[in-house]
């Protein structure tokens, strides 16, 4: 779902290698186009297409035809690619801003971060407790334990580069200084 946000990178997928002989490829556009457009795309081996269309028609896996037609047009006429190029430029600027802002509060920007929508930072403290305190102050962040299969405590925090505000980073700086004092 987030591969569209990686500029100039073509993630290697099993579907590319298999040439869609045995592998299905599913994706959606709600993250990259508009959150209200719940339109997905499924590429499958030819022998399954009729079964999939039948399932789609008989189940609630349908989306309004209008949305499907708009997405199809944007996809085939090059508008989607142009839109993503603009998003990539904005993400690049947001990453530069995040890098500068984190260094000001003493957090190292991860060296090998993909220029996508998220950045993982090491806070040096339990990010689960940090997330709870942030929530009390009106901030919603993703602690590392949410991404660990055994939900083990983590010092890592996932931040959305596009939506993390300078006000949150000021709060984070204050929080980390208070926790490190005690």
pLDDT tens digit sequence for 82-126: 888 888 888 889 999 999 999 999 999 998 777 788 999 999 999
Domain layout of the chain by residue ranges: 3-77, 91-181
What span, in angstroms and rounded, lies between the C-alpha atoms of 86 and 79? 11
User: How far is Cα of residue 21 from the mean position of the Cα atoms in its chain?
Assistant: 28
Domain 91-181 class, CATH top level = alpha beta
Strand locations in the chain (E): 25-28, 40-43, 118-122, 142-143, 156-160
pLDDT higher than threshold 60 for residue 31: yes
Closest CA to 37 of 74, 89, 77, 88: 74
Quick: pLDDT tens for 146-161: 999 999 999 999 999 9
Q: Tell whether pTM > 0.75.
A: no
Q: Which residues of 156-179 are buried (b: 16+ CB within 10 A; e: fewer)?
A: bbbbebeebeeebbebbbebbeee
Closest CA to 123 of 145, 139, 107: 107
Please answer whether residues 64 and 34 qualify as being in contact, where contact means their C-beta atoms are separated by less than 8 angstroms. Answer: no
What span, in angstroms and rounded, lies between the C-alpha atoms of 77 and 95? 29
3 state SS of 42: strand
């Amino acid at each position: 779902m987030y591969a569209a946000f990686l500029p100039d990178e073509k993630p290697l997928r099993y579907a590319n290698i298999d040439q869609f002989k045995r592998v299905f490829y599913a994706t959606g556009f709600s993250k990259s186009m508009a959150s209200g457009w719940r339109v997905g795309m499924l590429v499958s081996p030819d022998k399954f297409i009729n079964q999939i269309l039948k399932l789609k028609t008989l189940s609630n896996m349908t989306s309004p035809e209008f949305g499907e037609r708009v997405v199809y047009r944007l996809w085939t006429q090059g508008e989607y690619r142009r839109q993503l190029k603009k998003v990539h430029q904005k993400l690049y600027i947001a990453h530069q801003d995040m890098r500068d802002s984190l260094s000001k509060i003493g957090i190292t920007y991860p060296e090998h971060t993909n220029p996508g929508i998220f950045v993982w930072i090491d806070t040096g403290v339990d990010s689960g407790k940090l997330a709870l305190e942030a929530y009390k102050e009106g901030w919603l962040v993703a602690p590392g334990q949410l991404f660990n299969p055994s939900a083990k405590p983590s010092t890592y925090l996932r931040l959305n580069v596009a939506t993390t505000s300078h006000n949150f980073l000021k709060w984070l700086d204050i929080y980390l200084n208070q926790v490190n004092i005690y």
